[in-house]
Every structure is written in C-alpha cells, then in structure tokens.
Amino acid sequence: MEFDLDEAMAALSRTPAALKAMLNGLPRNWVENNEGPETWSPYDVVGHLIHGERVDWITRAKIILDHGAARPFDPFDRFAQFEESKGKTLGELPDEFAALRERNLIILREMNSSADDFMKTGQHPALGRVTLKELLATWVTHDLDHIAQIARTMAKQYAAEVGPWQAYISILHDRKSQSEQ
C-alpha cells in the first residue's frame, strides 16, 4: 500500500479501542507480567505509547513542517514510561492514551498537509533525513508493532501450559527485540 492519510488515520484512530478491548479489566497477571529481563509488560507498553503521543509523533511532524531538516528531532526517551506511569493503574492508562490520540489526530487533520508537505524532510538524530510521510507511516506501524507485542507477551505467560501445542503456536517462539522498546 502507498501511504494515504485517510487510511493511516483509520488505523491510528482504532488503536485506543483495541487496547481497551484487550486490556481493560483484565486480571493483573496478564497486564503486569513481561517476557523476561529487560522486556516490557502490557502496562509498560501502554505507558510508552502515551509518551509517544506527548512528545514524539505530532511534535516531530510540526518540526518538519515548521523547520524542515534545519531543526533535528529531539531523541525519544524509550524508558520515560517507567517514571511517568508511576502510581497510575492500568485502568487509567488506556483512557489517557485515547484522549491524547484523539487530540493528536485532530491536530494532524488540521495540518491539512498537501502531497508536497508529505515529502518535506526532517532530521532524525540517528536515521538522518526522513520525510513527513515516512514519519506518519511509521506512527501506524509502531502502533501495530506494540499491539502485537502485547499479544505476544500475554501468550508467553502460557508457554509452558500449552504442552505439546507449543510447536504450533509460533508467537511463543518470537523473541522480544530491542526495537520494540
């Protein structure tokens, strides 16, 4: 698929409800367990998504449109949620994420970006030149990556309990990867 703003927004707008459906009211074992040392629980993942809504995606889109590559993006803190989520319950986080996402999609729509705007570039601190279109497409895939991560992290809690079926459930063999954090 080629990037299309309406299609991208259709995906981005569904993530909050998907997370709520998967996680709200779920027993703590499911939401607080992770995949092992230095991996994240579903609770941590939602905190990470919230931090992205606060400081990453829309902020970077604005930098591209306002300054282009002359003003490099700030590095993104992939561990900010461990401070930010402190004292918050999982019941609160998906709602917080939903409100931020809704606000950011309104901002994105109001940017009213043209085909030329989508090709404007910014300077990523590690990746170099990137376009607005690439940033927005990445926002979509980043959501989906973390939805899959939550599903995988939950599935792995039953890795031993499935017995011989372990051979058939491929997600139990997928590794966590640094890029998802």
Residue 180 near a copy of itself by CB under 8 A: yes
Distance between CA atoms of 25 and 19, rounded to whole angstroms?
11
Distance between CA atoms of 179 and 49, rounded to whole angstroms?
14
Beta strands in 18-167 (DSSP E): 121-124, 128-131
Closest CB to a copy of itself among 18 and 105? 18
Closest CB to a copy of itself among 50 and 136? 136
Q: Quick one: which of 5, 55, 69, 155 contacts a copy of itself (CB under 8 A)?
A: 155
- Amino acid occupying residue 167: A
Return the bridge partners of 88, or none: none
The answer to whether the beta carbons of residues 140 and 8 sit under 8 Å apart is: yes
Residue 80 near a copy of itself by CB under 8 A: no
Binding site for a copy of itself (CB under 8 A): 1-4, 6-7, 10-11, 14, 17-18, 20-23, 25-27, 29-30, 33, 124, 127-131, 133-135, 137-138, 140-142, 144-145, 147-148, 151-152, 154-155, 157-159, 161-165, 167-172, 174, 177, 179-180
